[in-house]
Amino acid sequence: MKTRHLFWTALVLLTAAGPGTTAAQTVPAPPGKTTPVEQDGALGVEEYRIGPEDILQISVWKNDVMSRTVAVRPDGMVSLPLLNDVQAAGLTPAELRSALIKRLTEYMPDPDVSVIVQDVRFFKVSVIGEVAKPGRFELKSRATVLDLLAQAGGFKDFASRARIVVLRPEGKSMKRIPFNYNKAISDGQTENFYLRAGDIVVVP
C-alpha cells in the first residue's frame, strides 16, 4: 500500500510539472497566444506575447481618458495619452501592464492598470505544397502542426508525409524543423508541436 501511495504521489508531481519545464524549451521572439512553443518535438505552452495588429484593451482605474482600446502598430508600438508611444509587441500582457504602471507613476500615485488582448491578429502561419488548401492562415488560438494540416484540408495523393519541414523565422535566417506526420499520429506527444507566428509548413 505504501509503494502504491509513493507511485501516485510521483505521478501527480510529474503531471504538475508539465511538458514545458524541460531545458530544451526555447522562448519565442514574438507571440504566440498562450503561445505555441517548440521544444525540439515536445508540446509546451508559453504565455502569449503581443504582436503587431493585435487589439488591446487598456484600462486605468478611475481614469477614462487613459482607458481605451488600441491597435498595435506595425512598428510594435501603441499610442496613449501622456505616454505617447509605448512598446507593446514582444511583451506579454503582464509585462506591458508593468511597463505602463512604471510610466504612469510619473503622473499619478499608485496607478491600477489592466491589459487585455481583445483580438489576436498577429498570429499568422502558412502551409504550402501537397495539401488540399495551401495558403496563409490567421489563427485565433494555439495550434499544432497537425491542427494546421487539418485546416489545410489534408494531403494530396503524392504528399511525402515523412518529409514535412517547418520553416521558422529566427532573426535574418530560417530554422528548419523536420516533422514526420506518420510518427506524429502514432506518438503525438513527442513528435507534434505548437506553431509560432510566421511559421511556414512545407509539405513536399
CATH class name, domain 23-33+122-203? alpha beta
Q: Residue 145 above 80 pLDDT?
A: yes
Q: What is the pLDDT of residues 13-64, one digit of tens each?
A: 333 444 433 333 333 344 444 443 444 444 555 678 898 889 999 999 999 9
Q: How confident is the model at residue 121 (pLDDT cuts 50, 70, 90)?
A: confident
Query: pLDDT at residue 137 above 80?
Result: yes
Category of 94 on φ-ψ map: left (φ > 0), alpha (ψ -120 to 50) or beta: alpha
- In this structure, of 28-32, 117-121, 136-140, 180-184, the range with the lowest mean pLDDT score is 28-32
pLDDT (0 to 100) of residue 187: 73
Res. 128: pLDDT tops 90: yes
- What is the rounded CA–CA span in Å between residue 75 and residue 26? 24
Residues 125-154 have a mean pLDDT of: 93
- Does domain 55-119 bear CATH number 3.30.70.1250? no
Q: How confident is the model at residue 152 (pLDDT cuts 50, 70, 90)?
A: very high
pLDDT value, residue 171? 79
Q: What is the pLDDT averaged over residues 168-180?
A: 91
pLDDT in tens, 63-119: 998 999 999 999 999 999 989 999 999 899 999 999 999 999 999 999 999 999 998
Residue 120 pLDDT > 70: yes
Every domain of the chain and the residues it spans: 23-33+122-203, 55-119
Over the range 15-50, which residues count as b (16 or more CB within 10 Å of their CB) and which as e? Answer: eeeeeeeeeeeeebbbbbbebbbbbebbbbbbebbb
Cα(187)–Cα(202) distance, integer angstroms: 21
